[in-house]
Structure 1
């Protein structure tokens, strides 16, 4: 059985929408995209690269898959992420039956997210990391399919935007905390 780890950047008020770029996700009129960029430092980049370098599969919602792979496969190299993303086994949750995935090592999971991810978790071994994909993460948390969360908590309150957590309760046990030079706290939590 696989373990599922969620890897997310969030603000102190729980917003996870569009941390990387102003145009990343403007749904709902969100105008604060790119909020995480000023907080990047060597500590956070090294942590993310080390985490991704451990291997394992990746799990995405369709929108996040297109955005993340589209961005990193066109980003200047060298960087610590492009080749890892391209080489990793990627699973993409979608309700669209005729989905075509533009990047190698990508497998669609067609149907309802909770059902297809539960089957995947049961049928494969090793770690599966979810990047972004807030709607997917909320569904997996509600179904108790998440084993671990890595939250990069930014010292910022936006007051608006899509939040990572919904109304469902999630009890977390802190396993490790790493402060960065810019005030981000990288928290690694086991989900009870």
Structure 2
């Protein structure tokens, strides 16, 4: 599989997870107010042209003629750790598109350089790593409730190693994310954190 096809497959995997959560209403937002796109362009006054992003979610108020919030995800399927330069470039693109009305998440299958972790924390950018399948060891033996508790604690402790160690292996789901100083272990918990920041600005999902 060539590099482009490999990258497209990773982007499609990320998009499918996000789309499933938004469509289900799990995030607490009305799905009809959320519009999802892949490879859509957003105008940059600095460039006088559009910046095309991998994945975007537009949050629309009823009757509005434009979105009120833009959530952008950059996807990279690298064979080496993501350098801080890539995260800085992503932040620059976000600033050109919408300023305070845009939030960003950087998703990759590889590790991050420590400088990338520090920069993202200082600039409010979420980082996500999805381990490749070959680095996930399946747990097939019977586990007691106490075993599960211990495993969950191990996963909480391993997140930083997983984000910076390219060869990291796990018996978990292979999902690691940090945003605004908090650690997230599932798509649902991560996206709920993003969306909770705008719940007062958009219609809620009716229960």
Do they superpose with TM above 0.5?
no
Q: TM-score, with normalisation over the residues of structure 2?
A: 0.28
Instruction: Write 1 or 2 for the structure with the bigger share of helix.
Output: 2
Higher relative contact order (CA 8 A, sep 6+): 1
Higher Rg? 2
